[in-house]
Amino acid sequence: MGLYCGIDWAENHHDFAILNDLGDVVSRGRVDNDAAGFARLLEAFAEAGDTAENLIPVGIETDHGLWVAGLRASGRVIYPINPLAASRYRSRHSVSGSKSDSADAVMLANIVRTDATAHRPLPADTDSALAIRVLARAQQDAVWSRQRFGNEVRSLLKEYFPAALTAFQSLEDGLTRPDARSVLAAAPTPTAAAALTRPQLRAALKRAGRSRFLDRDVERLRGILRTPALRQPPQIEAAMGISLMALLRQFDAACAAAETLAAHVSVLFSEHPDAKIITSFPGLGPLAGARVLAEIGDDRNRFATARGLKAYAGAAPITRASGKKTFVLHRHVKNRRLAAAGTIWAFSALQASPGARRHFDARRAGGDWNHQAQRHLFNRFLGQLHHCLTTREFFDELHAFPPPLPIAA
């Protein structure tokens, strides 16, 4: 007789329930979130009939953490159940809205018992792919933090120091540039900036790592920062300068984290067997390629078809049909990290691949908005990536985007 386990996890403890094929509760309990609690869970498995040849599958509402790592190491099948799906299953058994941790554990075990085929088991990714995922996601988070703090700095400068935006916003990377942050740290207010001498400006640029065209940029900055402009009252200006310095510290930390993590993830990604195939695609360098690999993993059994991968990335549309009406809509439930990487991938490929440019232009000519055309290009790339990773082939421009046939005379 088969056995199935559901674990309702929490911060300090976890409720578990083990059911048999008939849905009867064989064992249930609550264990602490520590090594002793995990050992107690394994004891409950063994008492229920868990063996090396017939490991009890587990349903749990997460796909990461120490407990998931421990369950993965035991070799059993793990079903990470989406919390939204779990809430829909809960209403099947109780319409009153009642809820308890022990009942949720039973519900999760029942999901595995009755509907395991409707849910994806946790993929068997290698440790290398999981390590890339950790670093790639951390780097992506750092980039998003950098963008957020950069927007806050820009918004604050508009309020009292627009000359700083004039000085750096038109340059590549704008306020993210190390020299921009160095000059702002040296003079966080218009009054302090106007008082900067040439040697002080030169020293600020050198602290940022600049060594070329210093005299040219010193003169340019002095001209902009000394231009007469509207000012806040002195006391308010000073307060805003203090606020800017606090933001700059967070901005600097996010910039440094993004750069450091990018270097580490690029090195780790280059050592992965799939790296050369992924980076053979136009628009995918080491960093974007690492983000793609981090989200799709290296378990080739995870996506049996390219269609599943496209749906997971949110590149494939969904169809809603009712009666005589049919709607084709953009997919909102998706892996947002992979979708974000796909936007960068599709945009970069337009410059690197003539075929991608033809495909994009054809979609735009057919009435697609810019983002729709990019998403369709990403959708096509995903199908090609699935094929290349499955067959261990590199991207081929002529096969991916065959040139148009000449029109017969």
pLDDT for residue 329: 72
Asked if the model's pLDDT at residue 407 lies above 60, the reply is: no
Distance CA 190, CA 186 (A): 11
Distance CA 367, CA 376 (A): 12
Interval 155-171: pLDDT, tens: 999 999 999 999 998 88
pLDDT for residue 331: 78
Mean pLDDT throughout 141-148? 96
Sheet containing strand 58-60, strands side by side: 25-32, 13-20, 3-9, 58-60, 78-80
The pLDDT confidence band at residue 398, using thresholds 50, 70 and 90, is very high
Mean pLDDT throughout 339-364? 94
Interval 240-273: pLDDT, tens: 999 999 999 999 999 999 999 999 999 999 999 9
Distance CA 332, CA 311 (A): 10
Radius of gyration for the chain, computed over Cα atoms and rounded to the nearest angstrom: 28
Give percent above pLDDT 70 in the chain. Answer: 97
Mean pLDDT throughout 292-303? 93
Q: Which of 45-54, 90-99, 133-142, 344-353 has the lowest mean pLDDT?
A: 90-99
The pLDDT confidence band at residue 96, using thresholds 50, 70 and 90, is low
pLDDT for residue 409: 45
Mean pLDDT throughout 40-57? 92
Short-list 110, 82, 97, 87, CA closest to 6? 110
Asked if the model's pLDDT at residue 97 lies above 70, the reply is: no
* Secondary structure element (H or E) that encloses residue 327, with its range: strand 325-329
Mean pLDDT throughout 99-111? 90
Interval 313-346: pLDDT, tens: 998 877 778 777 777 777 778 899 999 999 999 9
Mean pLDDT throughout 37-51? 93
**H helix runs in 271-369, sequence order:** 275-279, 286-296, 306-313, 336-352, 354-365
CB 281 within 8 A of CB 381: yes
Mean pLDDT throughout 30-59? 93
The CA-based dihedral angle spanning residues 55, 80, 14, 90, taken in that order and rounded to the nearest 10 degrees: -110
Interval 183-235: pLDDT, tens: 999 999 999 999 999 999 999 999 999 999 999 999 999 999 999 999 999 99
DSSP-assigned letters across all residues of 117-155: GGSPPPP---HHHHHHHHHHHHHHHHHHHHHHHHHHHHH
pLDDT for residue 403: 84
Helix (H/G/I), strand (E/B), else coil: 330 = coil
Asked if the model's pLDDT at residue 408 lies above 60, the reply is: no
Per-residue burial over 44-77, b = 16 or more CB atoms within 10 Å of its CB, e = otherwise: bbeeeebeeeebbbbbbbeeeeebbeebbebebb
Give percent above pLDDT 90 in the chain. Answer: 77
pLDDT for residue 404: 80
* Eight-state DSSP code of residue 151: H
Q: At what angle do helices 354-365 and 370-391 cross, to 10 degrees?
A: 140
Mean pLDDT throughout 110-125? 91
Mean pLDDT throughout 278-300? 95
What mean pLDDT is reported for the chain?
92
Q: Which of 20-29, 282-291, 321-330, 344-353 has the lowest mean pLDDT?
A: 321-330
The pLDDT confidence band at residue 58, using thresholds 50, 70 and 90, is very high
* Eight-state DSSP code of residue 408: P
pLDDT for residue 98: 72
